[in-house]
Amino acid sequence: MVIKSVNLETVCGITSVLPENDKSEIAFAGKSNVGKSSLINALMNRKSLARTSSLPGKTQTINFYNINDTLYFVDLPGYGFAKVSVSAKEKWGKMTEKYLKTSTQLKVIFLLLDIRRDPSENDKNMYEWVIYQGFHPIIIATKLDKINRSQKDKQLKIIREGLQALPGTQIFPFSALTKQGRDEIWDCIEDVCGLKEAVEE
């Protein structure tokens, strides 16, 4: 997709009312510091619209990015290692759960994992929870540039087996540095949102 316009349209905190959008929504979930903001920036072809940070837990809100006035990227709060109170983590969890249960436009959830690591308990819990909510998450294995090319298949297998991923689950390796995987992820987004026909026409 050619990115013509990107706008951070809505930022929802714990007490905010979630927007009733009329366009497809693509949600991004992942533990803190997995590279979620870097992925979103790469997909939007922007350097720093989604704020990246070396400190885990930068995203503490649900952020809705309007892409080309055609669809929304929904950046969910990171989970796991964020240095915040237990009560804050619980509120983030409730906020995410509320979004997953009430959104009428959510088409797919991308779950991000670090390709170098075995899935953590938090990752496994998130994967199972998303499935419990009725979605089939697509996995994005980030930080691809941090491993040797020969390690890729082995690490993807570790992620698939560690999550006990359902048969047919898609996994996209991705590097924010080289942008490898960006086009494949966009193809997937256009497919699930029914945008390919519109592009081809």
Q: Map out the domains of the chain as residue ranges.
A: 6-192
pLDDT of residue 109: 97
Q: What global pTM score does this model have? A: 0.90
The pLDDT assigned to 88 comes to 66
12 DSSP β-pair partners: 62
| CB-facing half-sphere around the CA of 78: CA atoms within 13 A | 23
Give, in order, the Cα–Cα distances in Å from 32 to each of 85, 102, 167, 182.
14, 24, 27, 21
The pLDDT, as a whole number, for residue 61 is 87
- 3-state class (DSSP) for residue 9: strand
Would you tell me which CATH number, out of the four given (3.40.50.11540, 1.10.10.10, 3.40.50.300, 3.30.70.980), belongs to the domain 6-192? 3.40.50.300
Residues 6+ apart with CB under 8 A from 68: 1, 3, 4, 5, 6
- Residues of the chain with confidence (pLDDT) below 70: 51-59, 81-86, 88-89, 92, 197-201
Q: Whose structure tokens read 């885990």?
A: 56
